[in-house]
Amino acid sequence: MRRWPTEWGAATPYVGAGLGLSIPHVDAEFDGAPDTFGYQVTGPAARVMAGVQYPVTERVSVFGEYQFTYSSNDADLDGGGSLESDVKTNALNVGLSLNF
């Protein structure tokens, strides 16, 4: 995360990024095959974001941000086979934050 300091009363822009692992809970049922139920490390994951925060009072701020996440998933199924999926999400977040 990188936040640019500003004078009190001014908007504060910020950006962030991160890399990690995708560890979903894989829950799959198929007729005639063993159920797959548990956490697996399935591949890489990444997130990028950018936003701005604006103070309303000394303790309360409003913010707006954009986030993009990506994960590449290749899960092994009990009894053989696999499940592959790339998940991409986009989000616009707005809200209040409490500073303490």
Q: For 52-71, what is the mean pLDDT?
A: 95
Are the beta carbons of 49 and 66 closer than 8 angstroms? yes
The model's pLDDT over 34-49, given as tens digits with 9 standing for 90+, comes to: 899 999 999 999 999 9
Nearest alpha carbon to residue 50 among 20, 90, 86, 87: 90
Is the entire prediction scored with pTM above 0.85? no
The model's pLDDT over 10-30, given as tens digits with 9 standing for 90+, comes to: 899 999 999 999 999 999 988
Are the beta carbons of 33 and 17 closer than 8 angstroms? no
Are the beta carbons of 75 and 86 closer than 8 angstroms? no
Q: CA–CA separation, 88 vs 47, rounded Å? A: 10
Q: Which residue has the higher pLDDT, 66 or 8?
A: 66
